[in-house]
Amino acid sequence: MSTSYIQASEPLSLCGESPRRVAVTGAAGRIGQSFCAYAKDRYALRVAIRRESQRDQVRPFGEVVVGGLSERRVADHVVHGMDTVIHLAANPSPGAQWESLHRDNIVATYNLFAAAADAGCRRVVFASSIHTVSGYPRGYQVHADDPVNPGDLYGVSKCFGEALARFMAVQKGVSAIVLRIGAFQPREAAVQSESLAMMSSFVSHRDLDQLICRCVEDDKLLFAIFHALSNNVFNRMDTGDAETLLGYAPQDDFAELNRRLADLHLRDSITPHDSRHRDDAGP
């Protein structure tokens, strides 16, 4: 039995009217702006930002809420009447200090989930990170049901969010999907020769936007952890569960985009392997 996902006992029904009402926290961030621009005509969006100075960045996307989610009243306002909440807001720095991580990644995440449960939201999509498993050796491909193994305190804070997501799903009945997001960059960034460091963790804007929408619209999962990477020939984290359970179909491959790798045709010349399932007959 998989530990990375739980099927709902019956299909989840849409909360409220169509189009689906979706709240996005951290809407002024890179992922937030990309997703909101992609989905603004697909859903009725409510976008949450921390500072009034960010309003112009998100105004075209939908209703705007301003305030820090470490205040429960702000979280209540964000989720009220929503079908789905996409929780992107966080301190995203791997070098962040504990005080900030505690406020922005732990207290705020708890407030958001608790508010969603009290408001009767159908689902929370939680933006976790590849940093929850960055402690594994470089040669190991991580699967969604492997134990967490964070390499920094930022990863530790995201492990809390993953555990909270499962608790809220199983104990409180709020469906929760966790996305462990890799190196989120535009396709143009992958072209640069100096970007080779992200060849196993790259996820493009259009691939992540697609995956988030699939998480919003799924009606079969109570809880799941999925890996958000593009269709790279080398992937640090396995994306098989997202492809099988959600129909995720990533389009971009770092090795085909990067100018130093494209001419090598790696997808044709190298056979990818799963580091956890080796052929016992040989190396």
* pLDDT one-digit tens code per residue, 168-220: 999 999 999 999 999 999 999 999 878 899 999 999 999 999 999 999 999 99
Q: CA 101 → CA 152, 162, 244, distances in Å?
A: 11, 15, 33
Q: What is the pLDDT of residues 102-116, one digit of tens each?
A: 999 999 999 999 999
d(CA 264, CA 119): 53
Distances in whole angstroms, Cα of residue 135 to Cα of each of 146, 147, 149, 226: 12, 11, 5, 18
Write down the pTM of the prediction: 0.93
Residue 259 has phi, psi (to 5 degrees) of -65, -25
Domain 17-269 falls in which CATH fold? Rossmann fold (3.40.50)
How far is residue 74's CA from residue 250's CA, in Å, rounded to a whole number?
Answer: 35
DSSP state of 157: H
Has residue 117 got a pLDDT over 60? yes
Q: What is the pLDDT of residues 16-75, one digit of tens each?
A: 888 999 999 999 999 999 999 999 999 999 999 999 999 999 999 999 999 999 999 999
**What is the predicted pLDDT for the residue at 193?**
76
* pLDDT given at position 16: 86
